Amino acid sequence: MTDPRERRIDYVEFASSDPAASRRFFEQVFGWQFEDYGPDYVAFDDGRLQGGFFRGQPQQAGAGAPLLVLYADELEPVQQAILANGGQLLKPVFSFPGGSRFHFAEPGGNELAVWSMRDAA
């Protein structure tokens, strides 16, 4: 039997200027679980995918770094939680065929997006 992880994205790592701040942010806003591996690395589990934050300078999505897009049934509550926990809005909500999304920066400097099909264009 083939491992279900075979040829799938299995783990993702982010550079973060402040891994502890990234941890606090994703715990508070998205409810991710974390495990520390010293001051320069923290691993996460979002319930579906695992990864980590290592101390380093993140690249912005427009500068060649991949853009990771999270899903939420409703955008407004997530956007408010992001702003209340130290995130910055980079692109306000915009529509595209199939849904809407916005982009944000987390305290460690990474750009991500949140999309919803409920707010479809």
Q: What is the pLDDT of residue 51?
A: 97
For position 103, what pLDDT does the model report?
97
Question: Could you state, in order of their start, the residue ranges of all structural domains in the chain?
Answer: 11-116
pLDDT of res. 119: 61
- The pLDDT averaged over each successive group of 10 residues in the chain (121 residues) is 84 96 97 96 96 92 84 96 98 95 96 86 46
Q: What type of residue is 41?
A: Y
Task: Return all residues near 109 (Cβ < 8 A) that are at least 6 apart.
Answer: 15, 16, 17, 18, 57, 58
Say what the pLDDT of residue 60 is: 74
Report the pLDDT value the prediction gives residue 42, as an integer from 0 to 100.
Answer: 97
Strand order in 111-116's β-sheet?
68-71, 111-116, 99-105, 88-96
Q: In this structure, which topology does domain 11-116 adopt according to CATH?
A: 2,3-Dihydroxybiphenyl 1,2-Dioxygenase; domain 1 (3.10.180)
